[in-house]
């Protein structure tokens, strides 16, 4: 967190070495403007302006205040519930200078309870869908799309939670190159279904605004699957600022949280006659939501963007390395079991 300004009464206290304040006994009285992020609680009190006068600097918007205080109950991070957190963009994304930008989903699904006060009006909420991610680096992708939903009808119980995160774009990679790729990942009942370009296939069909269609397939690992997500947004959305390499924070993307979202997920089984995987059991049958989050950014967006995810070498081979090692271990274990039986 960060404290922008302490209250006068707190000036005499030694706060220089504090990494966090007690959320109930210290923070409300000590902090005039700032925020802190605790493991399961978020607090903030911000004094500034809304940027409506075309800028983020002093005097470039209508003054206002916003405060919030909420507790978070995690349901899914990024990965299987039993295996723990994974890197969203693969293990290479842990190291600086490889990909630009960096992207990590910290909570694919959670429930939030608390309050937000904006312009003197307080909004209270209980067990609302919550999602969190982190972006860092010099700039956002040159062009990108994104959708997320964890508010599907019939899947809001904690023991039956369902969440999808899908997106992609054109990013910078080493040696002055770029690549366009995407992913679709589903978290359902503690299990992650990850369709990424280093272990499967993914394709997208995204309009300039209003329609997001993404399909993914994974035939590696213990649970081959296929996934489809469609998001339709009939409202114009809101323009937001995003970091750019040359111009800083400027209006560079458009978002909405009112997309009609449909998600389907199938198990894949091997068909000897066709020599390929085919759809088997239906895991999620057209789950629907009226509150999907959607975004497009960068550009140019002159027309529909339709493409398949392609990850360039040698990055693809390097990111796949842990999966190959895991598959080799499983193969050796199976062989040892056969030997022991014989």
pLDDT grade for 18, boundaries at 50, 70 and 90: low
- Higher-pLDDT residue of 268 and 334 is 268
Residue 246 vs residue 17, higher pLDDT: 246
What's the number of CA atoms in the CB half-sphere (13 Å) around residue 42?
A: 15
**Residue 80: what pLDDT?**
93
Residue % of the chain over a pLDDT of 90: 59
Residues 136, 296: contact at Cβ < 8 Å?
no
- The sheet that has 63-76: what strands, in order across it? 2-6, 31-38, 41-49, 63-76, 102-118, 121-136
Per-residue model confidence (pLDDT) at position 216: 97
State the DSSP string of 206-245.
Answer: E-SSSEEEEEEEE-SSSS-EEEEEEEE--S--EEEEEEET
Could you tell me the pLDDT band of residue 17, with boundaries at 50, 70 and 90?
low
Spatial separation of the C-alpha atoms in residues 327 and 87, rounded to whole Å: 19
Q: What region does 120 belong to: left with phi over 0, alpha with psi -120 to 50, or beta?
A: left
Q: What is the pLDDT of residue 54?
A: 74
Q: Greater confidence, 326 or 271?
A: 271
Q: Average pLDDT of 41-45?
A: 96
The model's pLDDT over 86-145, given as tens digits with 9 standing for 90+, comes to: 888 776 666 666 677 788 999 999 999 999 999 889 999 999 999 999 988 777 889 999
d(CA 244, CA 259): 26
- In DSSP terms, which residues pair with 183 in a beta bridge? 167
pTM reported for the whole predicted model: 0.88
Q: How far apart are CA 256 and CA 233, in angstroms?
A: 8
Least confident of 67-81, 83-97, 137-151: 83-97
**Cβ proximity of 230 and 221 under 8 Å:** no
Measured CA to CA, the distance from residue 148 to residue 170 in angstroms comes to 19
215-223 own/partner pairs: CB under 8 Å, 24+ apart: 215/184, 216/166, 216/183, 216/184, 217/268, 217/277, 218/193, 218/194, 219/268, 219/277, 220/323, 220/327, 221/323, 223/191, 223/193, 223/267
Would you place residue 10 in the very low, low, confident or very high pLDDT band (cuts 50, 70, 90)? low
At residue 53, the pLDDT reads 80
SS3 127: strand
Average pLDDT score over the chain: 89
| Nearest residue to 186 via CA among 210, 209, 144, 217 | 217
On whether the CB atoms of residues 81 and 190 are closer than 8 A, the answer is yes
Q: What is the DSSP string of 233-285?
A: --S--EEEEEEETTTEEEEEEEEEEEEEEEEEEEEEEEETTTTEEEEEEEEEE
C-alpha–C-alpha distance, residues 28 and 48, integer Å: 18
Choice between 76 and 244, residue whose per-residue pLDDT is larger: 76
Please report which helix (H) or strand (E) contains residue 110, including its range: strand 102-118
pLDDT tens profile 304-329: 999 999 877 776 777 777 776 766 77
What pLDDT sits at residue 95?
66
- Residue 258: the pLDDT is 98
Comparing 74 with 95, the larger pLDDT belongs to 74
Give the mean model confidence (pLDDT) for residues 199-210. 95
As a whole number of angstroms, the distance between CA 130 and CA 157 comes to 14
Q: What is the pLDDT of residue 11?
A: 54
Rank 16-30, 211-225, 282-296 by mean pLDDT and report only the highest: 282-296
Give the integer Cα–Cα distance in Å for 144 and 20. 35
- Among the residue ranges 25-34, 50-59, 290-299, the one predicted with the least confidence is 50-59
Write out pLDDT tens, residues 193-202: 999 988 889 9
| pLDDT > 70 in the chain, percent | 92
**Inter-residue contact 69 to 39 (CB < 8 Å):** no
Q: Is the pLDDT at 42 greater than 90, yes or no?
A: yes
Over range 177-186, report the average pLDDT. 92
Question: Mean pLDDT: which of 6-20, 163-177, 283-297 is highest?
Answer: 283-297
């Amino acid at each position: 967190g960060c404290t922008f300004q302490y209250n006068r009464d707190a000036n005499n206290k030694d706060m220089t070495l504090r990494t966090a304040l007690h959320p109930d006994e210290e923070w409300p009285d000590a902090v005039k403007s700032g925020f802190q992020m605790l493991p399961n609680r978020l607090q903030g009190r911000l004094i500034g302006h809304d940027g409506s006068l075309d800028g983020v600097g002093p005097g470039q918007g209508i003054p206002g205040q916003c405060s919030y205080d909420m507790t978070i109950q995690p349901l899914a991070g990024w990965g299987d519930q039993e295996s723990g957190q994974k890197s969203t963009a693969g293990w290479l994304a842990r190291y600086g200078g490889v990909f630009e930008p960096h992207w990590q989903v910290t909570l694919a699904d959670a429930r939030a309870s608390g309050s937000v006060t904006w312009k003197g009006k307080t909004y209270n909420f209980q067990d609302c869908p919550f999602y969190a991610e982190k972006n860092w680096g010099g700039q956002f992708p040159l062009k990108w799309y994104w959708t997320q939903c964890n508010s599907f009808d019939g899947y809001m119980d904690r023991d039956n939670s369902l969440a999808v995160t899908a997106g992609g774009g054109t990013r910078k990679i080493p040696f002055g190159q770029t690549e366009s790729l995407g992913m679709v990942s589903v978290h359902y009942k503690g299990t992650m279904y990850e369709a990424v370009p280093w272990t499967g296939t993914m394709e997208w069909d995204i309009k300039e605004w209003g329609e997001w269609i993404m399909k993914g397939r994974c035939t590696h690992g213990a649970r081959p699957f296929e996934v489809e997500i469609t998001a339709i947004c009939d409202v114009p959305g809101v323009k937001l600022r995003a970091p750019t390499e040359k111009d800083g924070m400027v209006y560079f993307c458009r978002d909405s949280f009112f997309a009609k979202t449909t998600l389907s997920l199938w198990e894949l089984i091997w068909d000897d006659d066709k020599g390929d995987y085919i759809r088997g059991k239906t895991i999620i049958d057209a789950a629907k939501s009226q509150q999907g989050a959607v975004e497009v950014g960068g550009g140019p967006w002159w027309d529909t963007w339709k493409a398949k995810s392609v990850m360039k070498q040698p990055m693809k081979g390097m990111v796949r390395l842990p999966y190959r090692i895991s598959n080799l271990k499983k193969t050796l274990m199976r062989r040892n079991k056969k030997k022991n039986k014989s």
